[in-house]
Amino acid sequence: MTGVLPIALEEATKTIHVLLEAGKEYVCVMRLHSNVPEDRVKEVLTEFQGKIYQRPPARASVKRRVRIRRVYYIDVLEVDGRDVLFRIGCQAGTYIRKICHDVGEVLGCGAHMQELRRTRSGPFTEDENSVTLHDIVYLYSKWQETGDLKYLRRFVLPMEKTLEILPKIYIRDSAVDAICHGAHLTAPGVVSLETGITNGCKVAILTLKGEAVALARATASTKEILNMSYGIVARNERVLMPRGTYPKMWRSKTGRS
């Protein structure tokens, strides 16, 4: 397999599990084991959109038990004889080679995955964010020569890029350091938030400047949070910002600030 492979550095490694849970997009070449009319191939591939039951293949890194995965879309790009080129967007943990096998079973001819390329992982896409190892070597050498950070920024992105796929809650500066010390987010600390937050969903907590503070689990929906004047709105799961980045503006239980 080739394509998009996000790599996290230093503090950004704390966000990598967000990408593991994020949706993916692939371009796949499926090889049919006998000739099948193109219309029939397209018809069967359409049947694999939506929720599917899938057992991971024998050579997999997870337990082989049936599980439900969602396929958001399948677009057939080209059919050349027994080779079918298609684009697929799917939930994390979906095995494309198993889909190819199952499509072959439905068609009655058999099929296997010939080639696979990942074109998107969460917010990172092949066209907008990807660089080759040769690009990195060149850009890094240009940074060494000139000292201009624009060359590093071409392939080293802020960790906030990873959090684009999560709903966000923006907090007051006075609440930042408390969150960095592991405190849960309460209603008075919230300045604004995005729609689509539901009770139990993962959210990103950010400063008013858009800096990542923590990953948390919402305890209320967007509408409920807007109507709250006190109480916990999100439970801290992973602190992203180092302590002391923002001044301490909270008091401990002993009353000392």
More confident residue, 58 or 242: 242
How high is the pLDDT of residue 34? 94
How high is the pLDDT of residue 253? 58
Cα separation, 93 vs 64, in Å, equals 12
Mean pLDDT is lowest, of 40-49, 56-65, 86-95, for: 56-65
- Three-class DSSP category at 137: helix
More confident residue, 152 or 129: 152
* Proportion of the chain above pLDDT 70, given as a percent: 96
Give 254's contacts (C-beta < 8 A, 6+ positions apart). Answer: none
Residue 43 pLDDT > 90: yes
pLDDT average, residue stretch 94-119: 94
DSSP state of 61: S
* Proportion of the chain above pLDDT 90, given as a percent: 82
Name the band, by pLDDT with cuts 50, 70 and 90, for residue 107.
very high
- Three-class DSSP category at 138: helix
Question: CATH 2.30.130.10 in the chain, residues?
Answer: 166-239
Average pLDDT, the chain: 91
Give 61's contacts (C-beta < 8 A, 6+ positions apart). Answer: none
Closest CA to 57 of 65, 45, 49: 65
CB 163 within 8 A of CB 18: yes
pLDDT average, residue stretch 94-101: 93
Question: CATH 3.30.2350.10 in the chain, residues?
Answer: 2-126
pLDDT average, residue stretch 138-166: 93
Cα separation, 49 vs 18, in Å, equals 24
Give CATH for domain 2-126: 3.30.2350.10
Pairing of strands 168-171, 202-206: parallel
CB atoms within 10 A of CB 216: 24
179-216 tens-digit pLDDT: 999 999 999 999 999 998 999 999 999 999 999 999 99
CB atoms within 10 A of CB 56: 18
How high is the pLDDT of residue 249? 77
How high is the pLDDT of residue 250? 66
pTM of the model: 0.85
Residue 245 pLDDT > 60: yes
How high is the pLDDT of residue 257? 37
- Does 166-239 carry CATH code 3.30.43.10? no
Cα separation, 165 vs 162, in Å, equals 7
Cα separation, 217 vs 215, in Å, equals 7
Residue 153 pLDDT > 50: yes
Cα separation, 101 vs 57, in Å, equals 10
